[in-house]
Structure 1
Amino acid sequence: MNKSEKPKIILHIDMNSFYASVEAAHNPDLRGKPLAIAGNVEERRGIIVTCSYEARAKGVKATMPLWQAKKLCPNLFVMPPNHAKYRRMADRMFELLRSYTPLVEPVSIDEGYVDITDVEVNGSYLAFVKTIQQNILSTLNLPSSIGIAPNKFLAKMASDMKKPMGITILRKRDVPKVLWPLQVGEMHGIGKKSAEKLNKIKIYTIKDLAHADSITLEKAIGINGIRLKERANGIDNRPVDPEAANEWKSIGNSTTLRADTVNMTTIQNTIKRLSESVARRMQRKKVVASTIQLTIRYGKNRKTITRSMTEENAVEHMEELYERALFLFEKNWSGDPIRLIGVAVQNVIDKKETFKQLDLFSSNKKDEKKTKFHETLSNLQQKFGQDIVFKGKKDLE
């Protein structure tokens, strides 16, 4: 860092039990009571999406079957999710944060980063952050936890340390004492599978990761291992980027055909290639989407139409995108020659944020096998090219 530069002061705002808190904010009778948000609330196979801290105190937690949660907490109040309501409250929360500084980067519906480095503060930054937390609470009736640090990674780690309504300062000099003793699986950015791979090469704690050999790391978990080692040492140079969230709202590809066409085989192949491209980008970003959009531009008059459909459960795989995009095409094509086709997804969210209802007694294994198949297929295509694996008849052109 240049000596003339001010040290960064980054906040990570993490809303506490967001869905349940929003419901309690709209209905004061629910405040202080064990509350859970779950799908299929009338069925035994319903699964808990999230729950209040009062419910957590009884042992209720996310992904738990509804019948099990009610056994642990007989007076549990259960509600179905209302995503439109949650999105409206999230928008209000982020607008409130932008009243302090434009440097606000949402990363999901209930969390985001704020850079207050250049904000004029009267008194201590801790007192200033407390006013932000209290403002969110008094204005929206929503509790939050906030991490204060010199970079995004440390701010994220700090916000997880005190919940609910906590504020934690984590400096780079605190890393050896505060973070290094933790198990490597507790580090932000390391999932269960990565933790298992790291354990196999005798990396058990964040300290082990901080001192690991870079070449060994890269062999074990790929190039991401080097970045994780930097994080374990408290290094993270990513800026707070207000525009980053826009990349997540829509992902799409379009192509202009060589000539105007009404050939259905050509059109189907084009939609399939576009769907494959969009699905790969979604996988890289680790996102899913609930809205699929198709664009058609006709050749003669250049008229362009855009049609979309929204699914109850988010989609991510090429087959799902292709099937829905083709449906939109067949439903809306006038029969005139086409010059351009586009496939896109909207209402894009992080995989961790989405929740799909599964029948615990039959669908779980099917979904797990499906996910593993798609992961294997994608890995083969990335390594050997898109044509290495295909299903059914392959068109030769």
Structure 2
Amino acid sequence: MKRSIVHMDLDTFFVSCERLKNSELIGKPVIIGGGDRGVVASCSYETRFFGVTSAMPIKMALRLCPEARVIKGDMEMYSNMSHTVTEIIQEKVPVLEKASIDEFYLDLSGMDKFFGCYKWTTEIASNITKETGLPISFALSTNKTVSKIGTGESKPVGRLQVQEELVRLFLNPLSIKKIPMVGNQTFQLLSRIGVRTIQTLSEMPVEVLHQLIGKNGIELSKKANGIDETPVVPYSERKSISTENTFAQDTIDIQGIKSILSGMVEQLGFQLRKEKWLTSTVVVKIRYSNFDTETKQFKIPYTSADHTLLKYALELFNKLYTRRIRIRLIGVKFTGLVHGCHQMNLFEDTEELISLYQTMDYLKHRFGSNSVMKASGFLK
């Protein structure tokens, strides 16, 4: 059966949400972020015209576009709006994958017999804008890669269909940067040998790509040729992530316990960022040697940053541990999860801190989650 895969993307989602609250922002250059040393979480098309991009330092963005209005951002509102859009789509489609807080994949394979996939998707997009006021773009094609690239090419408020027989014609002239798995490092590597367009990349021998960038070279070659068999995974909202540590011997070593707690928070923080979650509630649990168990929780702004989460976890532990009794178990749980990227949430953090997180996460992805840790996570 011929596949019909749709990628939908809420245009400048954070900015669009803020414009629903304040219509004076419509048509004006807007940056979502925070702090003079923070980074851009999102920006309007009016700022992009001046070269402003996501993850750019706020100071640099304001040098490029001095007239831009900087807004801290409201993750709770963005989460609620995303949930509303998700519900609208879920009511209309057989298979939905929520890729992030503002991106969705729809598998409409087989529906051409009944409705016409392009017409059906257009009606869904119009319904989303009508009910929420949010602009949305989409592209329909034979797989996730082509449809995602198509959405990017159709923005803003784009509607695009790339038929199977036109996939190569559509992809060939585009920059290799348009392929989702091509990051800056891969782009620079391929550019140095003259590979800058998808057509040139598609004509490279797979063996050469494999030698250049490893096993990902095979997958990259397929995508350059318009081939992507990745399925649309049905959406389900995760409720929480947690971990516990039962000590071999009951302990009253508070500094040691806090070091272990720090390591647990760091591991869960990495898991949040890896799976693209943000949490709004921190829960800490302790079990005493007499098996009495107590928990406390704290509602926080959405985040996936270790240092923020640890601050609240330690605060909760200090409030929980009120008896001079040995501790048998310590546990941490993050609940109230929503989809969102690490950089989206760090409105108050510096570019140096974000760079540190990105480097540590890269090392953990490559060498394992225990390959690098903060010193506070080790027992002395």
TM-score, normalised to structure 1, is: 0.77
For residue 192 of structure 1, report the CA deviation from its aligned partner.
0.9
Does the aligned pair in 2 maintain the 1:36–1:51 contact within 8 Å?
yes
Evaluate the alpha carbon distance shift between residue 277 and residue 173 of structure 1 in structure 2; reply closer, same or farther with a 3 A threshold: same
CA distance in 1, matches of 2:241, 2:214: 26
Partner of 2:341: 350
Assess if the C-alpha contact under 8 Å between 2:272 and 2:278 holds in 1: yes
User: Greater shift after overlay, 348-357 or 150-159?
Assistant: 348-357
Cα deviation, residue 179, structure 1: 1.2
C-alpha contact 2:145 2:226 (8 A) present in aligned 1? yes
For residues 286 and 104 of structure 1, do their structure 2 counterparts lie closer, same or farther at Cα, with a shift above 3 Å needed? closer
Distance 1:187 1:394, change over 3 A: closer
Residue 13 of structure 1: how far off its partner (Å): 0.9
Question: Contact 1:46–1:65 (CA<8 Å) still a contact in 2?
Answer: yes
Q: Does 1:258 align with 2:258?
A: no
Q: 5+ unaligned residues in a row in structure 1: which ranges?
A: 1-5
Q: Residues 230-255 of structure 1: CA distance to partner in whole angstroms, max 9, x if unpaired?
A: 22222322322234552xx6443223
- Name the residue aligned to 1:139: 131
SS of the counterpart of 1:341? strand
**Which residue in 2 is equivalent to 1:3?**
none
Contact 1:17 1:51 in 2 (8 A): yes
Q: Deviations over 1:249-303 (max 9, x none)?
A: 6443223333444343553453244235324434644666565443323453453
Q: Equivalent residue of 1:353, what SS?
A: helix
- Tell me if structure 1 keeps the 8 A contact 2:12–2:44: yes
For 2:187, the equivalent position in structure 1 comes to 195
CA distance in 1, matches of 2:374, 2:24: 55
2:103 equivalent to 1:111: yes
Distance 1:371 1:137 in 2: 36
Q: Which moved more, 1:254-263 or 1:284-293?
A: 284-293
Partner of 1:83: 75
Answer yes or no: is the 8 Å Cα contact 2:108–2:117 preserved in 1. Answer: no
Determine whether 1:330 maps to 2:321. Answer: no
TM-score, with structure 2 as normaliser: 0.80
Deviation of the 1:122 alpha carbon: 5.0
**Deviation for aligned residue 1:9:** 1.7
Question: Equivalent residue of 1:161, what SS?
Answer: helix
Indicate how the Cα distance of structure 1 residues 207 and 337 shifts in structure 2: closer, same or farther if over 3 A, else same. farther
Aligned to 2:360: 374
Task: State the aligned residue count.
Answer: 376
How much identity, in percent, do the aligned residues show? 26
CA distance in 2, matches of 1:186, 1:173: 20
Change (3 A) 1:30 1:308: closer
- Inter-partner Cα distance in structure 2 for 1:110 and 1:116: 19
2:28 corresponding residue in structure 1: 34
Structure 2 partner of 1:166:
158
1:1-397 paired onto structure 2 within 5 Å: 6-28=1-23, 30-31=25-26, 33-40=27-34, 49-54=41-46, 56=48, 62=54, 63=56, 65=58, 69=62, 72=65, 74=67, 79-117=71-109, 119=111, 122-200=114-192, 203-243=195-235, 245-246=237-238, 250-264=240-254, 266-282=256-272, 284-285=274-275, 291-301=281-291, 303-308=293-298, 310=300, 314-316=304-306, 322=310, 324-335=312-323, 336-346=325-335, 347=337, 349-351=340-342, 353-357=344-348, 363-364=350-351, 366-367=352-353, 370-371=356-357, 374=360, 378=364, 382=368, 386=371, 391=375, 395=379
Given the superposition, is the C-alpha separation of residues 151 and 270 from structure 1 closer, same or farther in structure 2, using an over 3 Å criterion? same
Question: What is the letter of the counterpart of residue 341 of structure 2?
Answer: D
Alignment deviations for residues 105-154 of structure 1 (CA, whole Å, 9 cap, x no partner): 22222111122235587543222222112111222121111111222222
Question: Do the aligned partners of 2:111 and 2:117 also contact (CA within 8 Å) in 1?
Answer: no
